[in-house]
Chains A and B, each alone.
Chain A
Amino acid sequence: MASPMEQFEIHKGLQLPTVPLPGGLSVDLSLNNSIMAMLIAAGLVIAFFAIATSRAAVVPGRTQLIAEGLFGYIDDLAAGIIGPESRKFFPYVFSIFLFVLTMNMLGMFLAFTATSQLAVTVTLALMTFFLVLVVGFIRNGAKMYKLFVPSGVPWYMLLLVTPIEIISFFLRPVTLALRLFGNMLGGHVALKVFAGFVPTLAALGAVGIVGAILPLAGVVALTALEFLVAFLQAFVFAVLTCVYLNDVVNLGDHH
């Protein structure tokens, strides 16, 4: 029987040139199943929005209604967290939400989940992290230190609070990447393990077939749970992106 980890194996497809990078590194641009999953996910999002908004009408059709529903959902979310300036950051939050959501959902249908690749989640998390840093320094300049020094805290508490704030700030990309990665990895491993029990037990004979009903029911329930997790993790990623952006956009206003 296949290992539960087999689903995360990268298999190279179309061979593309390896590009050397400065510093002695090189990047193999060959397509593989992870890259294909990302391409399909982005392709689906783009195709869906191209269709949904191509004939954008005041009275929306079905696809436009779904697109507007997603739009309104994330727009309200971003506006609720970041405030009136959310419009500038909304395209990023919306893109990342849709991209992660589609990759997660594709994992429920395709054999491959791009968001179960640490390389993918780390990149997404670092994108958000550096966006927050860049936005923070552009908007606040040298006042960025306030991010680590909450106002209204006595100096002896600052000795304790500031290191904690600094550590938690730099742990953000780590937690952001590991949360998504761990959820998708764990969910798909659990699915595979439970699903593996079914044929193993069923092979034992009549008693085994009866016993296989339990893991089968478990797989069905887990699949439903995984759909929830697929949405939830995309949502959490979008929410945390908003929260982190809010910290630097409204620096000094919070707390």
Chain B
Amino acid sequence: MAAEDTPYTPGAAPAALDGTYAGAAPADSGGGLPQFEFEYWGGQIVWLLLIFAVLYTLMSRVFIPRLRRVRETRAETIRSAVAEARRVQDEADAQAAAARSEIEQARTRARTVAAEAKARANADFAARQAEADARIAEDLAAAETRIRSLRDTAMASVGEIAVETAGAMVERLTGTSVPAADLRAAAKGAAG
């Protein structure tokens, strides 16, 4: 029954509106603007305060804490992931450094081994060469000795041959044979 006599009835509102527009409004409303119809202020203010109180309470108690929590969780997740990544990176760096030093060591070791092998080979070679030299020198000495002895023998035979030849020549020239002892003496004198 109350709905019948409210100002909401379709007929009343356009009538008031036409009145406002026709210029008759300043009499019944603030300054022509519907906003200055103060009869509606109370309701709007009270409802606004109620609505805003509900909105503020839900925001501050429910929605904002939820959003803050999820943002903090995300920041924490990112922070821990970055820390983890940094840790893994450091680990990888350390491993790379270890591998590099290991390679360096191996290289040094290989260089030492190579140098040792070279030295051993050189020593071996030198020893074998010395041995060969010694053998050659020995052979040479033996050969020289033999040659000297052969020459000595040959030289010794030369006197004999000269005596024989001289005897034969004297016999042929003079027809007399000369005793070998004389010949030998003569030869020795000639040779001397």
Nearest Cβ on chain A to B40's Cβ, whole angstroms:
4
* Distance from A49 Cβ to chain B, minimum over Cβ atoms (Å): 4
Q: Which residues of the partner chain A approach B49 to less than 8 Å between Cβ atoms?
A: 123, 127
Assess A68 versus B44: contact at CB under 8 Å? Given A3-B20, A49-B59. no
CB closest residue in chain A, given B48: A123
Chain A residues with CB under 8 Å of B39's CB are: 28
Measured CB to CB, the nearest residue on chain B to A7 is: B34
- For chain B, residues 146 to 173, give those with C-beta under 8 angstroms from any C-beta of chain A: none
Residues A27 and B43 in contact, CB atoms below 8 Å apart: yes
Given contacts A15-B2, A91-B56, A95-B59, contact A6 B48 (CB under 8 A): no
Question: A118 vs B66: C-alpha distance in the bound complex, in angstroms?
Answer: 34
* A181 cross-chain contacts in B, Cβ below 8 A: 35
User: A68 to chain B: which residues have CB within 8 Å?
Assistant: 67, 70-71
Query: Does A85 sit within 8 A of B, measured CB to CB?
Result: no
Interface membership of chain B positions 28-48, coded 1 if the CB is closer than 8 angstroms to chain A and 0 otherwise: 000011111101111111111
With contacts A3-B17, A11-B8, A12-B8 known, is A95 near B44, CB below 8 A? no
In the complex, which residues of chain A have a beta carbon less than 8 angstroms from the beta carbon of B40?
A: 10, 28, 32, 34, 119
Q: In residues 18-69 of chain A, which contact B (Cβ within 8 Å)?
A: 19, 25-32, 34-35, 38-39, 42, 45-46, 49-50, 53, 56-58, 60, 64, 67-68
Q: Does A99 touch B at the CB level, under 8 Å?
A: yes
Given A39-B51, A123-B49, A124-B48: A28 and B42 within 8 A (CB)?
Answer: yes
A170 to nearest B CB, angstroms? 20
- Residues from chain A with a CB closer than 8 A to the CB of B74 are 58
Task: Select the residue from B35, B70, B73, B74 with max chain A CB neighbours within 10 A.
Answer: B35
- CA A127 to CA B66, docked complex, whole Å: 26
Instruction: Say yes or no for A208: interface residue by CB 8 A criterion.
Output: no
Chain B interface residue bracket vs A: 35 or more
Q: How far is the CA of A221 from the CA of B52 in the complex (A)?
A: 33
Contact of B51 among A30, A38, A64, A98 (CB under 8 A): A38
A26/B42 in contact, CB under 8 A: yes
Q: Which chain A positions have C-beta within 8 A of B21?
A: 3, 5-6
Interface size class on chain A is: 35 or more
In the complex, A135 Cα to B115 Cα: how many Å? Answer: 86
B21 — nearest CB in chain A belongs to which residue?
A3
Q: Contact between B70 and A58 (Cβ–Cβ < 8 Å)?
A: yes
A197 at the interface (CB under 8 A from B): no
Specify the chain A residue showing the minimal Cβ separation from B5: A15
CA distance A92 to B48 in the complex (A): 14
Interface hub of A49, A60, A181 (most chain B Cβ within 10 A):
A49
Residue from A58, A60, A98 having most chain B Cβ neighbours under 10 A: A58
Cβ of A185 < 8 Å from any Cβ of B? yes
With A and B bound together, what is the CA distance between A26 and B6 in angstroms? 17
In this assembly, does B54 line the interface, its C-beta being within 8 Å of a C-beta of chain A? yes
Residues in A with CB closer than 8 Å to B64 are 71, 90-91, 94
* A29 and B46 contact, CB distance less than 8 A: yes
The yes or no answer to B55 lying at the interface (CB within 8 A) is: yes
In the assembled complex, the Cα of A58 lies from the Cα of B69 at a distance in Å of 10
Contact B33 A8 (CB under 8 A): yes
- The CA of A31 and the CA of B44, in the complex, are separated in Å by 9
Instruction: Report if B190 contacts A (CB, 8 A).
Output: no
Pairwise interchain contact A46-B58, C-beta atoms closer than 8 A = yes
Q: Which residues of B contact A123 (CB under 8 A)?
A: 44-45, 48-49
Determine whether the beta carbon of B13 is less than 8 Å from that of A9.
yes
Q: Nearest B residue to A29 by beta-carbon distance?
A: B43
CB <8 Å contact, A117 and B44: yes
A92 to B60, CA, bound (A): 8
B52 to A95, Cβ gap below 8 A?
A: yes
Q: What residue of chain B has the Cβ atom nearest to residue A91's Cβ?
A: B60
Return 21 A-B CB contacts under 8 Å, by A number.
A6-B21, A9-B17, A10-B37, A19-B46, A28-B39, A29-B46, A30-B6, A34-B40, A35-B47, A49-B58, A56-B69, A58-B70, A58-B77, A92-B56, A98-B59, A99-B51, A99-B55, A117-B44, A123-B44, A181-B35, A185-B35
New A-B pairs, 20, CB < 8 Å, besides A56-B69, A71-B64, A99-B51: A5-B21, A5-B33, A5-B34, A8-B34, A9-B20, A11-B7, A11-B8, A19-B46, A32-B44, A45-B55, A50-B63, A60-B70, A71-B71, A91-B59, A91-B64, A94-B59, A95-B52, A96-B52, A118-B36, A124-B52
